[in-house]
Amino acid sequence: MGSADRMRVAADICAEQAKQRPVAIVVSAMSKVTDLLLDTLRKAEAEDRAALVANLQNLEERHTQCCMDLLPAGKREPVLEGIRGIIAEFQRIAQGVMMLGERPPRSVDEAVAVGERLSALLMAAYLESAGVPAQAVNARDVVVTDPVFGNATPLMGPTREKARGVLCPLLEKGVLPVVTGFNGATTDGRPTTLGRGGSDFSASILASVLDATDLWIWTDVDGIMSADPRLVPNAKVLDEITYAEAAELAYNGAKVLHPRTLAPLVEKGIPVYSKNSFNRAVPGTKIAPKVDAPLGARAVTSMGNVALVAVEPADPELNSVMVMSRALAALATAGAEVLAMTSSSYRQNFCFLIRRDELPHAMAALETTFALELAHGYLKDFDVDEKVGLLAIVGEGMKGSPGMAGRIFTAISREQVNIIAIAQGSSELTIAIVVARDGLEKAVRAVHDECQLGN
Ligand code: ASP
Ligand code: MG
C-alpha cells in the first residue's frame, strides 16, 4: 500500500485471482502512516499544536495525492469526501487527547485504525473504477477481540459469526470485500488493534473463519529467507517452511510475518504464501503444516534490541523455584514477553531475555514484587545487560541430528564472539543463543555459513 502505483498492482493481483474464485482482501495502511498517526497523538498529548496541524496536513496530502493518481477525474469527489471525513474523525480524537493531556489506549486504537480505513477506501474505489465490484469494510464490524487495547486477541467464535455475516453475502454477490487490517472491536463494540504489523494477523483470522483454501500475503520481499539479506549477502529464499518454523522465525526477529499470524491457520491447515508484489513471478515461500525439508537448520535470525536480566538469590534459604515463578508472574503482569530463559546451577542465577523497550515496565514490576527480598538482602540487585543480542537458529530438521549445537558453537567461537546464555527446548526446533551485541552480526554470518544455508 505504499503509493497509488503499489495499490494498482495490489488491485490487479486481487482482480486476477477473483476471476478464478471468491477473494477477500485485507489491507494495511499506506507505508509510514501508522507511525504518523501515533506520532500525531503524542504531539497532541504534548499540546504541540503546530506539529498536530502539520501532521494532519501531511496525512490528508498523502491520501489525496494517492486518490488523484489512482482515480479518473469523474470518480474522485466522493472518495476525497470520504478521506476528509475519516481524517476529521481522527482529528476529533486527537483534539480530545490534547484536552485530556493523555492518550487513553482505547482512543489510540480507534484513532490508529484510520490508516487502514483510508487505504481500504482507496483500494475499493480503485477496484470499482476498474470495473471490479468491491466494497470497503471496517474490521470493527467483523473481527471480535478481547479488550487488550493495542495488542488484542481475536475471539474466534464470535468473529466467525460476525465476519461470515458481513463478508459471505458480499462474496456470494461477487463483490470483493476490502477489509481493514490491524483493527477489530470488543464484544461490546469498543475499538481495538492487534499489535503493530497486525494486518497479517487480521488476514489469517479471516482466512480461518471464512474456511479459505489459502492465504496470500503480498509484501516487498521475495519470501522468508534463510537470514536477513542485509546481514548475510548470500541468504536465500526458502521455498517451503512449516508453520512452526515460520512462527519461531517471526518471534525471533524475522520481520516478514506478524508473529501471531500462523496460529489461526493451524487447525485447518490453511497454507500461506508469502510473496513479493514487486516481483510477482518469483514463487515466494509456502508455509504449510508439513514440508519435505532437508535435515538440519533452515534459517538464522537475530534481534539486537534486547536486554538480558539476571536474578540471583543471595541467601541459600530462599526457594529459587519460587523466586522464578514470582519473577515470571511479574513479567506477565508487566506485559513483557520472555524471549529466552535459562537457569543453571542449583539455587543460582537464572536469566531471561526481553525486548529493550519492555525493560522499564518489566524492571518496575520485578522491583515491586521483590521489594522485601531486595531490601533485606535475600536477593542480589538485578543485573541488566543491554549490550547483548539474540541469535536464533531454527529448523524442524535439527531434531535428532547430533552435532548441530557443537558445530554452531564452534562457528561462533571461531569469530571470537562470546556466548553469554544458551536455550534450546526439547522440541529442538530452535537454538537460542545470547551473545555480546557487537558480535551479533558476525555470529549470524558464521552460523549461516557453517550450516550452509545460503546460495
Ligand atoms: N498499519 C499497521 C502497522 O503499521 C498494521 C500493519 O501494517 O500490518 O503496524
Ligand atoms: Mg505491515
Domain boundaries, the chain: 4-208, 299-450
* pLDDT for the residue numbered 347: 60
Among protein residues, the one with the nearest Cα to ligand 1's atom 2 is 197
Among protein residues, the one with the nearest Cα to ligand 1's atom 1 is 29
The response to whether residue 201 sits with its C-beta less than 6 Å from ligand 1 reads no
Residue 192 bridge partners (DSSP) = 184
* pLDDT for the residue numbered 316: 81
CA 448/CA 247 separation, integer angstroms: 19
The response to whether residue 197 sits with its C-beta less than 6 Å from ligand 1 reads yes
280 residue type, one letter: R
Ligand 1 atom closest to residue 201's alpha carbon, by position in its atom list:
8
Extended beta strands in 356-438, E state: 383-394, 419-424, 430-436
Burial of 418 (0-12, 13-18, 19+ CB in 10 A): exposed
CA 26/CA 287 separation, integer angstroms: 19
- Cell 464470535 found at: 158
CA 243 to chain CA mean position, Å = 15
Strands 215-219 and 350-355: unpaired
Q: Read off the pLDDT of each residue in 159-188 and give the average, rounded to a whole number.
A: 98
Which of 6, 28, 37 to mutate to test ligand 1, by most ligand atoms within 8 A of the CB atom?
Answer: 28
Q: Read off the pLDDT of each residue in 20-36 and give the average, rounded to a whole number.
A: 97
The response to whether residue 253 sits with its C-beta less than 6 Å from ligand 1 reads no
% of the chain at pLDDT higher than 90: 88
Q: How confident is the model at residue 295 (pLDDT cuts 50, 70, 90)?
A: confident
Cα 243 to middle of ligand 2, angstroms? 19
Cα 373 to middle of ligand 2, angstroms? 44
CA 195/CA 182 separation, integer angstroms: 7
Q: How confident is the model at residue 256 (pLDDT cuts 50, 70, 90)?
A: confident
Strands 240-242 and 191-193: unpaired
Candidates 235, 30, 243, 222; CA nearest to 117 is: 30
The response to whether residue 284 sits with its C-beta less than 6 Å from ligand 1 reads no
Residue 276 bridge partners (DSSP) = 219
% of the chain at pLDDT higher than 70: 99
Handedness of CA 121, 122, 126, 132 (dihedral sign): negative
Q: Which region among 278-292, 335-349, 427-441 has the lowest average model confidence (pLDDT)?
A: 335-349
* pLDDT for the residue numbered 116: 98
Candidates 352, 414, 424, 358; CA nearest to 388 is: 352
297 near 397, Cβ under 8 Å? yes
CATH class of 299-450: alpha beta
Q: What are 344's three cell numbers?
A: 543453571
Ligand 1 atom closest to residue 182's alpha carbon, by position in its atom list:
5
Contacts of 251 (CB under 8 A, 6+ apart): 259, 339
Q: Read off the pLDDT of each residue in 280-304 and give the average, rounded to a whole number.
A: 91
Q: Is residue 255 over pLDDT 70?
A: yes
CA 408/CA 107 separation, integer angstroms: 47
Mean pLDDT of the chain: 94
* pLDDT for the residue numbered 296: 87
- Give the residue, 310 or 319, on which the prediction is more confident: 310
* CATH number belonging to domain 4-208: 3.40.1160.10
Q: How confident is the model at residue 320 (pLDDT cuts 50, 70, 90)?
A: confident
- Give the residue, 135 or 312, on which the prediction is more confident: 135
Predicted model pTM:
0.89
Residue 146 bridge partners (DSSP) = none
pLDDT digits (tens, 9 = 90+) for 377-404: 999 999 999 999 999 999 998 988 888 8
pLDDT digits (tens, 9 = 90+) for 418-448: 999 999 888 889 999 999 999 999 999 999 9
* pLDDT for the residue numbered 253: 81
* pLDDT for the residue numbered 15: 96
Q: Is residue 346 over pLDDT 70?
A: no
